[in-house]
Structure 1
Amino acid sequence: MASVLRRPFAITVALKQVPKASSTGLRAFHTTPLKRSANFISKPVAPSFSKSHNVFRATFRRTYMQQTPSIASNSQALRQRLLYGAGIFGATLVGINLIFNRETREDGGMPPFERSYLNDTFLHTGLGIGIIGVAARTLHMNGWSYRLMATNPWIVLGVGLVGSIGTMYGCMATSPENYVQKYALWGAFNVTQAMLLSPLMFMQPALLARAGLYTVGMMGSIAFVGATAKQEKYLYLGGPLLAGVAIVALSGLAPLVVPATAARTLMWTENIWLYGGLAVFGGFTLYDVQKVLHHARLAERGVIKKDPVNESISLELDFINIFVRMVQILGMNQRKK
């Protein structure tokens, strides 16, 4: 049930990410008045060669002196952003570790089997996210995003639910020993996510790269806490997180049923969708990492089969939901500037 609620409702946000075409250049071209000299018509004067030479030198000197500080200021701003990002990431990692990870493991560290199982899960998660990114870019270049944007949102939501949930549960129900069917359904699941997320490619590549970097930093710091925390410390979060994701999912569907005149209600639902969703899926990342380690211990005792593909699906859903919200938050901040 949690997997059903955790992914498909990102569609409603993905379909709203198309930026409006700007007409600033045309407007500035047509409204800029032409500057005329007062003596142009009544008293034309032919400039001398020495005066033209001085004007040329002054123009060149002025342009040269104006461009140099601009390049220096851009490089300085880039360094400041990198330093700020590194500082925020480091402070977040230390803060989360101090607040949520006061009780560390009591077994002397992570056993080799758990470490191997967790590494396999992270490897499949990275491969799945890479497949989604490449497939979304390819579909966007082939015009899929335009056709998807022109389709009725309810049809997209219905078909997306069927395709996403069908391939996901088909992959989870397949035995890990059946490699061909297992990875075929897993690949179909990733392609389905790419089909639904391809409209995000309308956004600027720099904005998408920043959102991806922030998502990796957020999930990486939380996963570190989950991997080094006491065994089964955060497995109790499953129930509260399921209730939270239900609220977030309903807030994501609010723009489809709430009239546009209820601006205050839509503002609150959007905040719940964005910031409440970040908190909920950050908690799911913590829960999923500890669940992976719990399943590793069960697989080592022979209770269940080792299946990192199924484990990676949950982390992929966490990444997608956090990434979509990061993109929307960065897009809103860019429009405010």
Structure 2
Amino acid sequence: MASPHDPRAAALDSFIARHPGILAGGGPAAVFRALPGAYLDALPPRPVHYYQTDKPGADALARLGLEVRTDEPASPASLCLVFATKHKEEVLHHYARAAALLDEGGSLIVSAANDLGAPSLERRCAELMGGVETYSKHKCRVFLARKDPAKLDRGLLETWLQGGDWHGIADTGLMSRPGLFSWKALDLGSRLLARHLPDDLAGRGADLGAGYGYLSREILARPRQIAELHLFESEHKALDAARRNLEGHPAAQFHWADVTLGLPVSRLDFVVTNPPFHTGRAALSALGRAFVRAGLAALKPGGRLFLVANRHLPYEPEIEALGARAATLAEAEGFKVILALKH
């Protein structure tokens, strides 16, 4: 999730100010993981594919009147902008996708935060494109490359293109892909929570921050009387994965949504969640607390919320302050499973 004043956008804005006309040209453009910023005003009139699969990020762009898309750019372009995320494999895939789409002589401009691996990402971009020009500002690096087919490393191009495809998670039957939380292996916290979900779950429920659907699949795989299971997820790619992984389960309903804004369902019998608590690499327990508030608000009296969290995070006072009763069901491997019972 990007902040309203994301330093990657600020760094790109500064780079453009130092290089007037760098975005000139009327050919199509693509922006990977697009963010709000002054650079949007610097883009001359041209077709632009604004690609953003994070719901809060997409909503921020939509409020600016932009058409935001969740399908990856696939058409030829003269300019590609990439905002690097914390997911290295996803960033490399975006490099390769951009390089494949660019016209000869077209520009690839990347903005990456230093604390999310900008130096390494700069080197990798240079390996693919045959060299880059670099600018540093706002604890970020912005690097520019021009597409020269003679310098393009086509082996890396193909490897990184394929690296963004669907992958199976070993021994699970689940599908995932780069850019998702715990995309290579099941998260230990989610596994702990799944082991401590009771067999008497029934009726209507929700999975907040559902990811690629592991917890929901565990709930629906057991002989329970589940009438509805609502999966809420802010990352569209994760929701696509969940749809694949829960195909054939009629109780599953999928919502691309920002849980922190509240839920469009109410009087639920149960809620499960492994809430996120990071943005970038910074811990942000307020995000998890917002999940707790949303989950409890959506429960009916007597409804239950099952939560897994890092052992040191103090969710219990938040639960008690909201008028629910908290109990620890299990502690292991640095995590705890909490049951919150709504009065």
TM-score by length of 2: 0.20
Higher relative contact order (CA 8 A, sep 6+): 1
Larger Rg computed on CA atoms: 1
Flag the structure with higher strand content.
2
TM-score by length of 1: 0.21
